[in-house]
Amino acid sequence: MSISSSMNAGVAGLSANATRLSTISDNIANSSTFGYKRVTADFASMVLGNSPGSYSAGGVRASTQRIVDQRGPLNSTSNPTDIAISGRGMLPVTTQVAAQAGGPLPMLMTTTGSFRPDANGVLRTDSGLVLMGVPANPDGTIPPFPRDVTTALEPVRVDKNQFEGNPTKFIDLGLNLPATATRSGAEAQSYPLTIELFDSVGVGSTLSATFSNQIPATGGQFFNGVPGAPAELGGAFGGGIVKNVWRLTMTNPNGAPNTQEALVLFDTSGRMTAFELIEGPDPANPTDPTPLPITATATGLTEVDPNVPATGALTYTFPAAPAGAENPANPPLSVQLDAVAGGRGLTQLSDRFTPIAINKDGSPVGDLVSVEVDARGMVNAIYDNGFTRTIYQVPIVDVPNPNGLQALSNQTYRPSRESGQFFLWNAGEGPVGEMVGFAREESTVDVAQELTSLIQTQRAYSSNAKVIQTVDEMLQETTNIKR
């Protein structure tokens, strides 16, 4: 009898609207929860077999879905390790229990988190979510790591008592040599330059470099055309180059000088186009446990010198004395003199010796004062001596179908069959967004929309209850027929 199907349809309507009411209640309750993704309830009709002369109500079925790919607005905070993502993707996290157990770390995902160091220096939230990342090499670079597994990830740990000192391995000099110093009749002058260096334990020392003009200057010009080839009218030869000789003396921190003569070539605009280093003896270098080899390179040549490789790269090594032995605490040091690029390099203009830029790595020992996360997901340790070093990279996790992720407590998710296989992206690359520090993602719940849905659900529930009441009265009338 179709009247009984009406009763069942009313009951199904009550159940479906009760489910919708549950989602609305959960959404409103979490309207201020950071990282919460609202849940929707969708209704689907159920159709039973019917004949032309009768109809049986099939009722309704409710299904719920969490809209994970919807992004909430970002809220600025004062904590540098409050992290959110501006765009697609999630942060890799694990549970505090798993991190303390020391076994395999299950990877969970969350869109935002307020991470702070615990007693062990591990960045975690108050709810026990531990941030995971790829540890950096001692020099701050990130090693290659697999992108479809989590074997390279580990809890991000920051030791508040951490002291860090990095050795200086590279120096890039940009300076101007006075053009008047190499003219005929100029006086012999020296232009000293000191650069602070650090060894692997953060102890500072000084590298001294002195540029001395050589009088008289050996000026001249040559062209980089093919020797002996006929010149066509209107053809272009290479630019003219004036050669000037400078002597560059570098003194290692251990006091042993490595003296080299540098043949520096400048074009007519005063820009360096090549230089040649000639080894000089170092009889004063005794057997020393800490010799410091110095390597000088030049790149970016704009002319082809017959005595210079056309690849545009010259390398010369200031070798340690044969009796010396390299100290692991003091690795070889490279000093780079470039042709002008980006405002840096070696030039010969005007009448002044002017250091333009000195870029170097290395740092003294310092006390860790802060940790920040940049847009590329690099976790940077900031020390009280002003130096910054990358200690971790936090990749961004992405899946083909974010709405298919399995939702867990604390705004976390787990990959599932519906979501597809995850991939670890660098922040800001591919489909994922950039990482944002000092920020948290707010809930995606619109309270006004939820209250409107609440009124609609209440009326629908009351209407279904009225259907059940009406069917009950009709069945009562049917029962009274036999009286």
pLDDT of 389 higher than 80: yes
Q: For 72-109, what is each residue's pLDDT tens digit?
A: 999 999 999 999 999 999 999 999 999 988 888 999 99
Lowest mean pLDDT among 246-260, 386-400, 446-460: 246-260
Q: Which of 214-228, 300-314, 459-473 has the highest mean pLDDT?
A: 459-473
pLDDT at site 216: 54
Residue 356 has a pLDDT of: 78
Q: What is the pTM of this model?
A: 0.68
Tens-digit pLDDT profile for residues 108-128: 999 999 999 999 999 999 999
d(CA 199, CA 205): 8
Work out the pLDDT band at 366, boundaries 50, 70, 90. Answer: confident
Query: Given this model, what pLDDT does residue 355 score?
Result: 82
The most confident of the ranges 43-52, 231-240, 273-282, 319-328 is: 43-52
Over 90: is that where the pLDDT of 424 sits?
yes
The mean-pLDDT minimum among 85-89, 156-160, 333-337, 445-449 falls in 333-337
pLDDT category, 191, cuts 50, 70, 90? confident
When mean pLDDT is compared over 42-56, 218-232, 289-303, the highest value belongs to: 42-56
Q: What is the pLDDT of residue 192?
A: 87
pLDDT of residue 328: 46
